Structures are given as C-alpha cells and as structure tokens.
Structure 1
Amino acid sequence: MMIHVFPAGRLCSLRRALLLWLLPVFVLVGAASAGFAYWTYNRMVATFMDNQMELIAESMVAQEQDMVLPALTGEQIHKWGSYVVQVFDADGSPRSNSWLGLAPSLQPESGFHDVKANGAPWRIYTTPVNESSGSRRVQVLQSGEFRRHLAAERAGTAILPVIILLPLSAFVLWCVAAIMSRAIGDIARQAASQDEHSIAELPLDRVPQEIAPLVVSFNSLLTRLRDAFAAQRRFVQDAAHELRTPITAVSLQLENLRGDFAAGAPAQRFAQLEAGVQRAQRLVDQLLRLSRQQSVGAESPSIPVNVHEVLRESINTLIALADQRNIDLGMEESGLPAEPTMLTCSSGDLRSVVDNMIENALRYSPEGGVVDVRVTKSQGKLAIEVADTGPGIPPELLGRVFDRFFRVPGNDVRGSGLGLSIAQAAAQRCSMRISLRNRDDRSGLVARVETV
C-alpha cells in the first residue's frame, strides 16, 4: 500500500508537507528531552541533597555537646533550601528545633523518609540509635517543593536551547522549503518559456538530485518534440516545393490553352479548372510562407520598426489587387501623431501581419468596396485596424477563423484558410494579438491587431 506524503487538496504543498511531518517530530523530541532532563536532574539533586542531609545529621550526632541551632525563616527553608535540624532525646522528646514553623515529630525508623507536614512535602533523614552518641537522635529535614523547583530549574536551563531551536528549526525549514519551491518554480518557468520555435533542454547545473530524473525525462520529451516539429516543418516545406513546380507547369499549360476553347460550356469548365489551379497555387504559396515563418521565426531580430512605413509599403504592394477589383484602399491620416510610431519587433513579422489583414480585406470586399487602414494609440497600447465592406463573419465562427485551413461556409472567395493563422503566429512573436469583430455601422469586418 502506497503512503502519500503530501496531503490532498489545497494542502498539497512541499512546505506544508515538510512542516506537517517534521514539526511533530521536533515537538516530540523536545518533550522527551524535557522529561528526560527533569528526571535526570531530579535524581541528581536528590542524591546530592540526601548526602548533605546525612553528613549534617551524622556530624551533629558525633558532637559531644549540644550545638546552638540558628533560627531559620520560612523564606530560607522554602526558597533557598536551608535544612531544618531537630534534636531529640532517646525517648523521642524534642530537645531543639531550628525552625519553629514545623512541629518536631521523630520518625520511628531511621533513614530517609518522604512525609507530608503542614500541607507540604518534606524529605527527612533520621539518625539511627547509636550508643556512642548517648541519648541523642538527630533529624534533618528539607522542603520537597524546593527540591522539585531546583530540579525543574536545572532541567529548564538544559532544555532552553532545545526550546529555542524548535521555532528556529521551523523557520529555517520554512525558508529552505521556500528556496526549494523557487528552484522548482524556476524550472517550471524555463519549461513554460519553450515554444515550437525555441525548444531547448533545461539546464541541470542547479537542479536538486531528487528532481534531476524528472528534468532529464522532460528534456528527453522536449528533444522528441523538437524533432517532431522539425520533421513537420521539413515535410511541409518539401511538399510545398515539390508541388510548386508541377502546379506552375499546369498553370502555364492552361494559359496556352485558354484561346482554344470556344465560348459557352467549354469556356466555363475551363474557367473553373483554372480557378482550382490558382487556388492550389495560392495554397502552396501560403504553405511555403508558413514554413519559412516557422523556421526563422525565433531567429528574427527584434528592432524598432516604423509602423507607418510598414503600412505604406504593404498598401503600395497590394494596390494592384485593389485596382484590379476597383476597391478604394487607403490609410486614414487624420489623428496620426507627428512623430513616427515605433514598435520593437521583427519587421518581417509585422509586414506579414499587415499584408494578411489587408489582403483578406481586399479579397472579401465586393468590387467597388472600401478598405480603410488606421493606426491608433491609447493608454500606451498601439493598435492597427483594417476595416472592409465585405459580408462579415457569423459571430459563432469568429473564434474559428484562426484555425488552419478553416474557411467560412458558403463563401465563394478563393482562399487557403491559412492567412489568419499565419498572421496570428506572426503577431504573437511581435507581442501582439489579433481580434475580429463585425462592423456596427454597415456590413463588413474590422480586423484589429494590438500590443498586449
């Protein structure tokens, strides 16, 4: 049966588990140490005091004459542990007593006794009957409370370092567990920073030995994942390259055959065939662009890029497509800041985002439509918006258009379904996010990319 060290639920924590298991051990060890120290010092004090009492009693018995006993007070007896001396005749009659607060009472048997008098415990030593001592017998008493207090005091002094060590050990344990948690957190953050473009093994130089096998296993998984991504990119790139040549050849053959078909049904079927080939050619081009982005996306340097220049270059490149479809394409200059708007990212990634957004707007807007490009900056966030006059997208499908090869059903516009996926990946590398919304003032779509 497996024993679970970590509790379930919210208490499943390394620090809590260490405290849960080790603090009771510390407390038990401290309590056992305190009990053992008290028992040891109690025996030590009892042995020492008993020897003192016996020596005092025997020395007084050995005296030929009676000694004048000094009068004692209750504070001397109970607080300082002074001995009470009582001298008796052979018949048990008291002869002298050093403390009047305790009535003389001779014990019938000699030796040590533990008795209770005046509501308090006493330790008594009574001398045996000895003919050489004449008719005297001596009895020495000491407060039992004083003995217990003395043993407890000595035991407390001995156990004090352990008592101080308990909270200190708990604090050190908590700090060490926190440091271990941070070390594990660093490993987790390094693992979370991995993406498909920069998969690297986690370093093992500062990994605890207990966690090292887990990190090694994770590194092995990362290696296999990196190889799988590389194989996928090579396959897409190789397939696109291999398809590009025959599709280009077919396109040229179709161009040569266009004049050989008479008007009517043959010409219509030829136009459909030509449209299919063009769509396949566009799909291959998009696959090549996607493969190139995946291959060099992590290596592209991030530099300050003039956003307005990138927008103007993209518009100048796509103006031919806009003129072909009689679409009014332009950038709104009103409200633009006097200084250039700069964005730190890869210029190629930003151009890819802008090109895909504008090209999609041109393709989905009807002939004679309008495509407006504008730049806004609010609360430190930069945003680029491309608004078209196309049919828009059903609200329930707005989240799916970023999926690869997904196309809105019922749309006859030729496309590959990769444009927005490519743009979203490039925007993420620029620390930006693309969002789509349908226009409120008229039919159409607004594509917005903004910094996060």
Structure 2
Amino acid sequence: MMIHVFPAGRLCSLRRAMLLWLLPVFVLVGAASAGFAYWTYNRMVATFMDSQMELLAESMVAQEQDIVLPALTGEQIHKWGSYVVQVFDADGHARSNSWLGLAPSLQPAGGFHDVKVNDARWRIYTTPVSEASGSRRVQVLQSGEFRRHLAAERAGTAILPVIILLPLSAFVLWFVAAIMSSAIADIARQAASQDEHSIAELPLDRVPQEIAPLVISFNSLLTRLRDAFATQRRFVQDAAHELRTPITAVSLQLENLRGDFAAGAPAQRFAQLEAGVLRAQRLVDQLLRLSRQESSPAETPVAVNVHEVLHQSINTLITLADQRNIDLGLEETGLPAEVTMLTCSSGDLRSVVDNMIENALRYSPEGGVVDVRVTKSQGKLAIEVVDTGPGIPAELLGRVFDRFFRVPGSDVRGSGLGLSIAQAAAQRCSMRISLRNRDDRSGLVARVESV
C-alpha cells in the first residue's frame, strides 16, 4: 500500500509537506526535552537542597548551646530560598523561630516531609529523637514554590536553544524547500520551452538524485517525440516530392489534350479533371512549403520594411487578381518608413502576407475588392487584409487555423493549409493572426499584429 506524504488539494506542496511532517516532530522533541530537563533539574535541586537542609539541622543539634537565629523576611524565603530554622525542646515546645510568618509546628517523626501550610507547600527536615540531640530538636523548612521556580528556571535555560531552534529550523526548511522548488520549476521551464522545432534533452548536471529518474524518463520521451516529428516531416516531404513529378506529368498531358475535346459534356468532364489535378498540385506545393517551414532552422531576425514586403506580395499575386477581376490595392496610410519596420524573418513575414492576400483573392467573388492596409495602434504595428467574400461563421473562426480544415459548404478549392502555415510563420515573427467578419457588409478582415 502506497503512503502519500503530500496532502491533497491546494496543500499539495513540497514545502508544506516538509513543514507538515517535520515541524510536529520538532515540537514533540522540544516538549519532551523540556519535560525531561524539568524532571532532571527538579531531582537535582531537591537532592542538593535536601542535603543542605539535613547538614544545617544536624550541625545545629550538635551545638552545645542555642544559636541566635537571624530574622528572615518573606522575600528571602520565597524568592531567594533561605532556610527557616525552628528549634524545639524535648517536649515539642518552640524555643526559637527564624521567621515569625510561619507558626512553629514540630513534625513528630524525623526525616523529610512535604506539607502544606497556609496554601503554601514546604519541604521540611526534622532531626530524629536521639541521645545525641539531647533536649533539642531542630526543624529546617524551605519554600516549595522556590524549589519549583528554581527547577523551572534551570530547565528553561537548558531548553532555550531548542526553543530558538524551532523557528530557525522552520525557516531553514522553508528556505531549502523554496530552493528545491525553484530548481524543479527551472526544469519545468526548460521542458516547457521545447517545441516541435527544437526538442532537446534536459541537462542532468544540476538535477537532484531523487528527481533524476523522472528527468531521464522525460528525456526518453522527448527523444521518441523528436524522432516521431522527424519521421513525420520526412514522410510528408518524401511523399510530396514523389507526388510532384507524376502530378506535373499528368498536368502537362492534360494541357496537351485540352484541344482534343469538343464543347459539351466531354469538355465539362475534362475541366473537372483538370481542376482536380490543379487542386492536387496545389496541395503538394503546400505540403512541401509546410515541411520546409517545419524542418528549416529559424532565420536570424532582421529589420524588414513592411511596405516593401506588401508591394512584393501584391506584385506576385496581381495575376491571380486579374484572372478573377478583383480590385487588389494597398491603402497608403502615410506612416513614416521607420514606423513600418519590423524585426523578424523576411521569409516568414512574406509567407504570412502571401497566404492572407491569396486567401482573400480566392474567397472573394469575381468583381470583388481586396484592400490591404498598414495601421499602428497603441504602439503595435498591424497589417489588415479586407475582402468582400462570404465571411466565416462565427462558431468556425477558431477552427480555420487547424490543418486541412475547410469551411463546410465552400465551393473554393483549397488544401486547408494556408492559414495554418501563415499562423506558424506569424508566431516565429512574434505576431498573431486574428479573423473577424466585417460589420458594414459581407466579407472578412484578416489582421496580423505584433504581440
């Protein structure tokens, strides 16, 4: 049966577990030490004081004549532990008493006694009746309160280091647990920084022995995950390369056969076949672009002029816009050149812009309008592509970035990879793509902005 040392719920913490288990032990040890010290010092004080009382009483009995006893005060007796001496004759009558605050009362039997007089406890030694004592008996008394106070004082002095050690130990425990938690959190941060582009084993040089098996197991998982990603990328890349050649050959053959089909049903079937081949060719191109994007190392960020990238992208896609009779334009906002500079990979930024504009051109109806503009709000640079297409249902806006996802009911042929590729490229540029439907009319606003 497994014993759980960590409490459940919000108290499940390494620091709290250490304090929960060790502090009660410290408290119990401290209480036991205090009790044992008090018991030990109480016996020590009692033995020493009893010896002194017996020695004083016997020495006074041995005197041939009475000794004048000095008068004592209550402070001397109860605070400083002075002995009260009472002398009696053979008949038990008091002959002298060193403190008038305590009425003489001879104990019949000799030896030590613990009595209570006037709500105060006293330790008494009475000399026994013997020929050596003659006609006198001596009785020595000491305050029980003084004895208890003295024993408690000595025990408190002994237990003081333990009392100081308790909060100090708690602080040290909390501090050490905090350092251990910080080390574990650092391992967690290293694990969280892993992604499919940079999967590396976690270092073991500063990992505690107790956590090392967990980190080793996690490293083994990371290795298998890295191999799985590499295998997936190789498969996609190899499959795309292998498919590209036969699809290109089929496309060329279709180009040669286009003039052999007469108008009517054969020509329509040929057009459908040609559209399917073009779609497959576009899918292969997208898969190749995706595999290169995932396998290639990140480019060194440089200062990129956004306006120049937009002009290059529009010049590349203007042919597609002309084919669909779409008005594609760049709205100049008058922002100075230094304001429209971004520090990122120029290839990634171009990939983002190309995919956003191409999607807008493909989904806008013939004769539509696609506007591209650069804005700056609250210190963040943003690029917006506004089209006049059908838009996207609100409940599907979050899913269009998934790979191979296409909006149901759309008659636009595509692979469903464009936005996924654009989003990955935007993230490497520390940017974010968001989509929203237009409020003034049908259409979509695609916005990419700095995070």
TM-score by structure 1 length?
0.97
| 2: CA distance, partners of 1:340 / 1:114 | 97
SS of residue matched to 2:96: strand
Q: Is the 8 A contact 1:57 1:127 kept in 2?
A: yes
Q: Is the 8 A contact 2:305 2:337 kept in 1?
A: no
| 1: CA distance, partners of 2:299 / 2:238 | 21
Q: Is the 8 A contact 1:198 1:298 kept in 2?
A: no
SS of residue matched to 1:199: coil
Measure how far apart 1:13 and its partner are: 1.5
Measure how far apart 1:450 and its partner are: 1.4
Measure how far apart 1:356 and its partner are: 0.3
Q: Is the 8 A contact 2:299 2:345 kept in 1?
A: no
Deviates more, 1:210-219 or 1:171-180: 171-180
Measure how far apart 1:344 and its partner are: 2.0
Measure how far apart 1:192 and its partner are: 1.1
| 2: CA distance, partners of 1:352 / 1:133 | 119
Partner of 2:260: 260
Measure how far apart 1:153 and its partner are: 0.5
Q: Cα–Cα, structure 1 residues 240 and 300, in superposed 2: closer, same or farther, change >3 Å? A: farther
Q: Is the 8 A contact 2:6 2:13 kept in 1?
A: yes
Partner of 1:102: 102
Measure how far apart 1:23 and its partner are: 1.4
Deviates more, 1:138-147 or 1:63-72: 63-72
Q: Is the 8 A contact 1:393 1:408 kept in 2?
A: yes
Measure how far apart 1:299 and its partner are: 5.5
1:144-195, Cα deviation, whole Å (9 max, x unpaired): 0000000001111111111111111111111211221111111111111111
Q: Is the 8 A contact 1:109 1:126 kept in 2?
A: yes
Partner of 1:424: 423
1:85-131, Cα deviation, whole Å (9 max, x unpaired): 11111111111111111111111111111111122000011112232
| 1: CA distance, partners of 2:157 / 2:239 | 83
1:242-265, Cα deviation, whole Å (9 max, x unpaired): 000111111111111112222222
Q: Is the 8 A contact 1:34 1:155 kept in 2?
A: yes
Map residues 227-306 of structure 1 onto 2, 5 A cutoff. Answer: 227-298=227-298, 301=301, 303-306=302-305
Q: Cα–Cα, structure 1 residues 111 and 299, in superposed 2: closer, same or farther, change >3 Å? A: farther
1:27 aligns with 2:20: no
SS of residue matched to 1:448: strand
Q: Is the 8 A contact 1:306 1:342 kept in 2?
A: yes
Measure how far apart 1:300 and its partner are: 5.2
Measure how far apart 1:372 and its partner are: 0.7
1:291-343, Cα deviation, whole Å (9 max, x unpaired): 00000154554x22222221121112112222222222121112423534222
| 2: CA distance, partners of 1:310 / 1:50 | 103
Q: Is the 8 A contact 1:372 1:388 kept in 2?
A: yes
Measure how far apart 1:57 and its partner are: 0.9
Measure how far apart 1:227 and its partner are: 0.4
Q: Is the 8 A contact 2:121 2:143 kept in 1?
A: yes
Q: Is the 8 A contact 1:42 1:148 kept in 2?
A: yes
1:256-282, Cα deviation, whole Å (9 max, x unpaired): 111222222222211111111111100
User: What is the aligned-residue identity percentage?
Assistant: 92
SS of residue matched to 1:256: helix
Q: Cα–Cα, structure 1 residues 297 and 419, in superposed 2: closer, same or farther, change >3 Å? A: farther
Deviates more, 1:38-47 or 1:395-404: 395-404
SS of residue matched to 2:70: coil
SS of residue matched to 1:450: strand
| 1: CA distance, partners of 2:285 / 2:73 | 111
Measure how far apart 1:444 and its partner are: 1.2
| 2: CA distance, partners of 1:193 / 1:385 | 30
| 2: CA distance, partners of 1:132 / 1:244 | 129
Measure how far apart 1:216 and its partner are: 0.8
Measure how far apart 1:4 and its partner are: 1.6
TM-score by structure 2 length?
0.97
Q: Is the 8 A contact 1:64 1:133 kept in 2?
A: no
Measure how far apart 1:425 and its partner are: 1.1
Deviates more, 1:419-428 or 1:409-418: 409-418
Partner of 1:394: 393
What is the RMSD computed on CA atoms of the aligned residues? Answer: 1.4
Q: Cα–Cα, structure 1 residues 338 and 196, in superposed 2: closer, same or farther, change >3 Å? A: closer
| 2: CA distance, partners of 1:335 / 1:347 | 22
Q: Is the 8 A contact 1:244 1:284 kept in 2?
A: yes
Q: Is the 8 A contact 1:88 1:106 kept in 2?
A: yes
Measure how far apart 1:235 and its partner are: 0.2
1:19-54, Cα deviation, whole Å (9 max, x unpaired): 111111111111111100100000000011011111
Q: Is the 8 A contact 1:297 1:429 kept in 2?
A: no
Deviates more, 1:258-267 or 1:70-79: 258-267
Measure how far apart 1:411 and its partner are: 2.0
Deviates more, 1:412-421 or 1:287-296: 412-421
| 1: CA distance, partners of 2:280 / 2:443 | 27
| 2: CA distance, partners of 1:197 / 1:367 | 40
| 2: CA distance, partners of 1:146 / 1:76 | 10
SS of residue matched to 1:65: coil
Measure how far apart 1:133 and its partner are: 3.2
1:401-433, Cα deviation, whole Å (9 max, x unpaired): 111112122222221111011111111222221
| 2: CA distance, partners of 1:284 / 1:227 | 23
Q: Is the 8 A contact 1:254 1:274 kept in 2?
A: yes
Unpaired stretches in structure 1, ≥5 consecutive residues: none
SS of residue matched to 1:376: strand
Deviates more, 1:42-51 or 1:378-387: 378-387
Q: Is the 8 A contact 2:333 2:374 kept in 1?
A: no
Q: Is the 8 A contact 2:81 2:146 kept in 1?
A: yes
SS of residue matched to 1:123: strand
SS of residue matched to 1:102: coil
Q: Is the 8 A contact 1:375 1:385 kept in 2?
A: yes
Q: Is the 8 A contact 2:305 2:340 kept in 1?
A: yes
Measure how far apart 1:132 and its partner are: 2.8
Q: Is the 8 A contact 1:374 1:386 kept in 2?
A: yes
SS of residue matched to 1:131: coil
Deviates more, 1:99-108 or 1:262-271: 262-271
Q: Is the 8 A contact 2:326 2:370 kept in 1?
A: yes
| 2: CA distance, partners of 1:96 / 1:191 | 90
Q: Is the 8 A contact 1:72 1:98 kept in 2?
A: yes
| 1: CA distance, partners of 2:190 / 2:414 | 38
Deviates more, 1:436-445 or 1:285-294: 436-445
Q: Is the 8 A contact 2:333 2:375 kept in 1?
A: no
